[in-house]
Every structure is written in C-alpha cells, then in structure tokens.
Amino acid sequence: MHWEQLLSLKRQGDTSKRLRTEQDDTRLGFEVDYDRIIFSAPFRSLQDKTQVIPLSKTDFVHTRLTHSLEVSVVGRSIGRLVGKKIIEKYPHLKEIHGFQANDFGAIVAAASLAHDIGNPPFGHSGEKAIGEYFSIGNGQKYKDQLTKKEWQDLIDFEGNANGFSVLTSPRLGIEGGLRLTYAVLGAFMKYPKESLPKKPTQNISDKKYGFFQSDKESFKEVAEELGLIPNKTGDDIGYERHPLAYLVEAADDICYTIIDFEDGINLGLVSEDYALEYLIKLVKDTIDTPKYQSLTNKEDRISYLRALAIGNLINDAVRVFIENEEAILKGDFPYALMDKSKYKAQIDDIIQLSVKKIYQSREVIEKELTGYQIINNLLDKFCTAYNNDFDGVKTNYDSLLLKILPEKHLVKKESTYERLLHICHFVSLLTDGKAVLYNKIITA
C-alpha cells in the first residue's frame, strides 16, 4: 500500500481527481467530512444511545455521542503525531503531493467520530438482539429465502457494517450517502471483509465484518481506489486494513478502557481505592505527585489520572504504529496496536475489573434485558408487516403499523434480504428513547 493513494480525497460519484495541492486549507476535504458527520441525523441520534449504562439519565455517564466525540479527539491527537512522523519519513508526500501532518489527524478524527454511527440502541446487546431474532427467534422462517452470506449478515448483525451503510447508502436524491472521502471511509473500515467466512484467521481485521452484501460493490470500489491489499480468494471478499484504521481502533480502545472505567468509578460501581491502584500503574512515570496530592475531591483526582493515562496510551500507540509502519503497509501486522502496547498488562487488568464491576453489574444487565425484549418485539412486528405488504396479504394491523414508519423508510424493496435488512436498519437507527416509545405504541 502507498500513502499517496491511501490519503485519497476522492468521493463517490467524482468524475475528476481531487488533488491535495488544490485544496483550500481553511476547509480541507477531510474536515468537510467531519462536519458532514456531525450534522447528520444518525450522528445526532447517538445522544440518546447508551455507551455502558443503558437508559441511564445520570449526568456524568457517557452516551454514544459523548464517547464518539472523545474518541475523535483522541484519534486526532494520534493521527497528528503519526502524520508528523510519516511526513518526516516520506517528505515527497508534502513536497510533491501537498499533504500535511494534520491531514492524518483530520482523517482519523472524522473516522473516529463515525465509528459507532451504525450501532443499534441499548449497547452491544442491541446487535445481539437483532442477530438472535433471526438465528433463534421468529426470524428463522426467512432463512430458506436467503443466500448463506445474506443470512450471516442478519444472524451476526454488525454495527460496523451498518455504519458503512449509513455513511454510503444512497437515498432518493442523495447519491453516495454522506459522500465522504475514500480516505476517511478506509480509516473507518476496521473489518474490511464480508460476513463469511467468519473469523477465517486470527488477524484482527478478520475478527468481525465490515459490510453487508447490499453494500458489496461500493465497499469494493473504496478498497480498490485506496489500493488495499486483497486477502481472500474465490468468491470471498476481504482486504488488509487501511493503516489509519489501526489508529481509529486504538483511539476507541483507549477511550472505552479508561473512560468506561471512570464512569464506573463515578457511579460507585468501582471503589476509588481500586481505581487509584489500577490507574496509578499506568501513570507512575508521568504523575506530578505534589499536584495530585493537592486535589481534594475524588472526581478531580480521577480526572487527573484519566488525563495522564490517556496521554501515555496515545504516545504508546504512536510508538507501536511507527515501529511497525512498514509491516502495516505490506499487510503484515495482524494485531491491534494496543495488543502490542507496553501497558497491555495494565489495560487488561482494567478491562477485567470493568467487566466484573461495570459491564456485568445488575443495573446494566437489567436494562440490557429490557432493550433486548424491545428490539425483538419491534423486529417481529415490523418485519411481518413489511413482508405481508409486499406479498399482498397485509392485515389492517399491518397497515396501521406501517403508517408509523418514518417517511424515509417507506420504500419498496424487492428481495426478502433487502426488506429484512431495511427493517433492521430502521430499528438500528432508533434512539433508546424512540425504541421504548415505538414499543409502547405497538404493545398498547
């Protein structure tokens, strides 16, 4: 892979080449992407989607929106630091093509901002609820009407693939979705493969999948334009990661490791004594002890340690990337950056404690169960009505139900796969609050 190709400013539908040397530095194409994402309806809906504590209205608990903003800030820092090193190593990128160190930060920030845009309501249990509606629920009846890969898309419903669809799928009068640059789409694509074969290797890029069968052609177009390396054979589609996708993943890993932990502390799920013991291991080389000791309340102490921890992890992610940059460009780095961090043992300890004290806390489990039931109910009712309408056998109830679908979802889809995915897409874009409201309406 080659950086000048990986940093492509091309957008879907472009008929001429976009050159970095012709860009307006006051409004760079990658920064336009950031703006388009932040003003989009799917991004705004993240303000009412859970990060850790489902349905929680506690002031200091993160939503998907605040999490995404924080990941974008961390991603920008990592990207700029990496960009500085890359420009120093490959001066022609600046001298001939006009790229700047901050371009890397802008790409990673935009992709990081969008990284959760396709996630359903109620946290990761939302993905599982959609998948299990088809694998073990009433949705099993559709299996014989789908190809193996179409079926896998549904039973293994994936927020990353849904996110790619949100960013790129055309609507009437809107070609190419948000029409983001291919560089940002490439950095967004953490798992550049289809749903089958499932986890064919231990390569981090094969852990999940990144596009639905309905988006296969647009995904291939982006990958080929960027010069990503194909790593599947026959009819299977898959590529090695865009190098900047490693930075987006690292920013996300850093934020959920440290900030979810901070939420758990502020909620009282993790004691301050535990927190100090775990966080100080991450910051012992950079902590200003007199400053720390001058802080008189818990939130200030935890906030100070959190900031130091994130700074240390950012610098280490940059180190790992630069040390392995040539292998990454060759498609020979099958790991997440933080898996090779010198702080990996400390990160693992924090995650292990978070799983026990936060992710498996009674409050989280109870509210995920509620979300699970709501999503299952919405899928069942709307899939039935939508398919009955297509088959010409809709009931009066089905007609009433379809009338409450938002206008943009009142479109005809010809195949069973497209119809089922369309309803999954509708449910996935609901906020937690909207999902609860729809459920109340259809069960009243």
- DSSP for 185-246 reads HHHH-SS-B-SSSSS-SS-GGGSS----GGGHHHHHHHHHHHTPPB---TT--BBPPPHHHH
Whether 355 maps to a domain, the answer reads yes
Burial class of residue 221 in the structure, from the number of CB atoms within 10 Å of its CB (0-12 exposed, 13-18 middle, 19+ buried): middle
Q: Do residue 302 and residue 400 come from a single domain? A: no
Q: What is the pLDDT of residue 417?
A: 98
Q: What is the pLDDT of residue 267?
A: 78
Whether 340 maps to a domain, the answer reads yes
Query: How many CB atoms within 10 Å of residue 355?
Result: 11
Asked if residues 75 and 391 have their Cβ atoms less than 8 Å apart, the reply is no
Q: Do residue 263 and residue 293 come from a single domain? A: yes
**Nearest by Cα to 148 from 107, 194, 192:** 194
**Nearest by Cα to 65 from 290, 215, 242, 255:** 255
Asked if residues 34 and 76 have their Cβ atoms less than 8 Å apart, the reply is no
Whether 384 maps to a domain, the answer reads yes
Mean pLDDT of 430-434: 93
Confidence tier at 70 by pLDDT (50, 70, 90): very high
Q: Do residue 265 and residue 340 come from a single domain? A: yes
Mean pLDDT of 75-94: 98
Q: What is the pLDDT of residue 59?
A: 54
Domain count, the chain: 2
Helix (H, G, I), strand (E, B) or coil at 341: coil
Q: Do residue 270 and residue 345 come from a single domain? A: yes
Asked if residues 295 and 301 have their Cβ atoms less than 8 Å apart, the reply is yes
Whether 346 maps to a domain, the answer reads yes
> Token pair for residue 249?
């993943």
Alpha-carbon dihedral angle through residues 145, 150, 151, 152, given to the nearest 10 degrees = 170
Q: Do residue 349 and residue 410 come from a single domain? A: no
Task: Inform me whether the pLDDT recorded for 54 exceeds 70.
Answer: no
**Nearest by Cα to 50 from 74, 353, 58:** 58
Whether 107 maps to a domain, the answer reads no
CATH number reported for the structural domain that contains residue 288 in this entry? 1.10.3410.10
Rounded Cα–Cα distance for residues 432 and 129 (Å): 14
Q: Do residue 356 and residue 259 come from a single domain? A: yes
Mean pLDDT of 189-214: 97
Rounded Cα–Cα distance for residues 186 and 108 (Å): 10
Q: Do residue 350 and residue 382 come from a single domain? A: no
360, 378, 411 - which closes a domain: 360
Task: Inform me whether the pLDDT recorded for 51 exceeds 80.
Answer: no
The Cα-based distances of 202 to 135, 160, 206, 207, 208 in angstroms read: 24, 18, 7, 7, 11
Look at 44-53, 195-204, 280-289, 425-434 and tell me which has the smallest mean pLDDT.
44-53
Q: Do residue 316 and residue 396 come from a single domain? A: no
Asked if residues 151 and 75 have their Cβ atoms less than 8 Å apart, the reply is no
Tell me the Ramachandran region of residue 61: left when phi exceeds 0, alpha when psi lies from -120 to 50, beta otherwise.
beta
pTM, entire model: 0.95
Whether 152 maps to a domain, the answer reads no
Q: Do residue 328 and residue 278 come from a single domain? A: yes
331, 360, 389 - which closes a domain: 360
Per cent of the chain over pLDDT 90 is 75
Task: Inform me whether the pLDDT recorded for 55 exceeds 90.
Answer: no
Query: Three-class SS string for 261-291?
Result: HHHHHHCCCCCHHHHHHHHHHHHCCCCCHHH
The string of pLDDT tens digits covering residues 122-176 is 877 889 999 999 999 999 999 999 999 999 999 999 999 999 999 998 866 566 6
Q: What is the pLDDT of residue 176?
A: 67
Q: Do residue 311 and residue 347 come from a single domain? A: yes
Task: Inform me whether the pLDDT recorded for 25 exceeds 90.
Answer: no
Look at 14-28, 126-140, 238-252 and tell me which has the smallest mean pLDDT.
14-28
Confidence tier at 275 by pLDDT (50, 70, 90): confident
The string of pLDDT tens digits covering residues 344-377 is 999 999 999 888 888 887 777 887 888 899 999 9
Q: Say if residue 197 is preceded by a cis peptide, omega within 30 of 0.
A: yes
Question: Bigger pLDDT: 72 or 54?
Answer: 72
The string of pLDDT tens digits covering residues 280-328 is 889 988 999 899 889 888 788 888 999 999 999 999 999 999 999 999 9
The Cα-based distances of 433 to 194, 333, 397 in angstroms read: 31, 41, 23
Rounded Cα–Cα distance for residues 305 and 126 (Å): 32
Mean pLDDT of 21-45: 93
The string of pLDDT tens digits covering residues 391-403 is 999 999 999 999 9
Tell me which residue range forms the domain holding 345.
Answer: 243-360
Confidence tier at 63 by pLDDT (50, 70, 90): confident
Rounded Cα–Cα distance for residues 278 and 276 (Å): 5
Whether 257 maps to a domain, the answer reads yes
Whether 303 maps to a domain, the answer reads yes
Mean pLDDT of 261-269: 82
Q: Do residue 350 and residue 397 come from a single domain? A: no
